[in-house]
Amino acid sequence: MKRLVEEVGRIFGDVGLGQFQLSLTLPIERGDYLTVVDEIHGKVLCQLDDLKRKSDLDLEHAGALMPSEETPIRESLLGAARIVGYRDAQGLVKIPSIPFRPGAHVFRAEEPLIADVLGLKHHANSGAYVGLLRNHNLRVELDINQLVQRHVSVLAKTGGGKSYLLGVLIEELLRHKVTCVIIDPHGEYGSLRIPAEKNGGHDRFGVESQGFARQIQEYSPDVSLNPSAKPLTFNLRTTDPRDLLVFMGLTNVKTFLAPLKQIMENVAASNPDYTVHDLVRAAEAGEGAVAETLHERLEYVEQTKLLGPQGTSLNDLVKKGDATLINLRGVAPDVQELVVARLATTLFENRKKDKIPPLFLVLEEAHNFAPQQGSATCSRILKNIASEGRKFGLGLCAVTQRAARIDKTVLSQCNTQLILQVTNPLDLRAIAQSIEGLTPGMTEMIQSLPVGVALVTGGGYHTPLFCEVRPRATRHGGESVQIVAN
Ligand SMILES: Nc1ncnc2c1ncn2[C@@H]1O[C@H](COP(=O)(O)OP(=O)(O)O)[C@@H](O)[C@H]1O
Ligand SMILES: [Mg+2]
């Protein structure tokens, strides 16, 4: 989209150091990039943050107008722009220290200036290509080292395009051979194996269909529901009675913990290599209502096959350069939490000892696993990873539709945010509070973003920018279920 240098208006009124007002002679959109030529520094990049049509028609006169009456109205289009800056001789982005002159010409910004000031460059080795700068043909690439070292959040309301964008991000990580573990509560990401159907609309983005079947491992605690997955099991020997109660779905710790502990100790005393089946038999021999419940719930645990003598080997689970899907579809919420807690703890411990490669842990529905209020079994380890993971090369990507409900420690530790449409005022407030450099105009724009446009902050960029998410190379697995046929 090459554009001629176009004058769009003039600066007027009081001019600040960070922002100015302009009267517009051409209609431009909020978020568009502009240029003002500074006497000392040359072309400076600016961005339209707000627009208003001003008129001399007041309420009284408008009310007195007849339905078909034409009346001469004096009106003008006013804009408020923020100054993004210019690159100095050292390559740093600076803002002029003297305000622009009132009356100065404002032009539509040319792409080379936009690319230079925003820092939009192609990085073959370290760039995750997530889309194009809105209304331009400039690639937005996120710095992969920053993503993994400084954590990411993906925020949007339901249906806002989080899973689609996350799919784009995972495709990029796989292309760059970054090891990922993806907590997939809905079993949506198996479709990363399958190339997207060609739809002809990919040209502008230059995305080729491609599947990643060879780089995807899938594990699930429930392989009967998720037959494409290998069983994910945990070592019974390292499961203490309290953990086992969670697997059993028993919350009444007071009643059940002591008798269960007794059973486990008795069984272990006679057979150190005991199985869940041995526990079932021991519970069966007991008498009374408590023993009966324990027996019944242990039978359930045996059926889930979650606990084995060995458990899934970590070296099978995490393979360098591959993505491991932890498919939790159909798994009860408390068991999901336990699986995440055990898994995240193991990953963190082994990452500290460098026994597994640096990796990126993706957490869908993060507000359930690290809630701001109440607690989940896995909250604590996730908070630890959010605050200390970077030191050990364990990156976290938290995905949520409820920014207000996710733990604030986790949210504030995410230095790259990918924000799609959010309308809930509480979630918007949580976002505005956790992100630096967000203008009121941007916060307003988040409420009306079309599907497929994301506000990107961090990721190697010094200023927030709007990005049209690129099409998927693989099939998107999170299509909404149609209840009634069209
Ligand atoms: N960038 C995009 N381009 C095209 N379609 C998209 C894009 N993002 C989302 N969609 C569509 O919007 C719908 C909702 O997206 P999804 O990622 O599943 O939402 P969320 O995970 O936020 O609930 C999907 O049907 C998907 O096909
Ligand atoms: Mg989703």
Domains of the chain, each with CATH number or no CATH:
7-118 (2.40.30), 127-232+314-469 (3.40.50.300), 235-308 (no CATH)
What tokens does 119 get? 């820092």
Q: How far does residue 159's CA lie from ligand 1's centre (Å)?
A: 6
Give the pairing of strands 216-220 and 323-327: parallel
Q: In this structure, which residue's CA is closest to atom 7 in ligand 1?
A: 452
Dump the DSSP string for 285-351.
Answer: H--SHHHHHHHHHHHHHHHHT-EESS---HHHH--TT-EEEEE-TT--HHHHHHHHHHHHHHHHHHH
- The per-residue pLDDT for 1 is 46
pTM attached to this predicted model: 0.90
- Asked if 153 contacts 129 with a C-beta cutoff of 8 angstroms, the reply is no
Q: Where are the alpha helices (DSSP H) in 216-252?
A: 241-248
pLDDT value for 481 = 54
Nearest to 362, CA basis, from 323, 391, 312, 334: 323
- What's the burial of 59, exposed, middle or buried (CB within 10 Å: 0-12/13-18/19+)? exposed
Q: Which ligand is closest in space to the CA of residue 421? A: 1
Going by CA atoms, what residue is nearest to atom 17 of ligand 1? 161
- As a whole number, the mean pLDDT across the chain is 92
Closest Cα to atom 11 of ligand 1? 161
Distance CA 469, CA 473 (A): 12
Residue 393: the pLDDT is 94
Distance, in Å, from the CA atom of 173 to the CA atom of 190, rounded to the nearest integer, reads 16
Q: Is 113 in the pocket of ligand 1 (CB under 6 A)?
A: no
Strand pairing class (42-55; 33-38):
antiparallel
Task: Name the closest-CA residue to atom 8, ligand 1.
Answer: 161
CA gap 473, 207 in Å, rounded: 6
Report, in this order, helix, strand and coil percent for the chain, each rounded to 5: 35, 25, 40
| C-alpha of residue 423 to centroid of ligand 1, in Å | 16
Percent of the chain surpassing pLDDT 90? 78
**Alpha helix (H) ranges present in 406-472?**
408-412, 425-434, 440-446
Q: What is the pLDDT of residues 380-407, one digit of tens each?
A: 999 999 999 999 999 999 999 999 999 9
CA-based nearest residue to 138, from 150, 130, 146? 130
3-state SS class at 86: strand
Q: In what order do the strands lie in the sheet with 453-457?
A: 139-143, 127-133, 465-469, 453-457, 416-419, 152-155, 394-400, 359-363, 179-184, 323-327, 216-220, 230-231
CB 162 within 8 A of CB 417: no
Regions in the chain scoring below 70 on pLDDT: 1-4, 199-202, 478-486
How many angstroms is it from 163 CA to the middle of ligand 1?
7
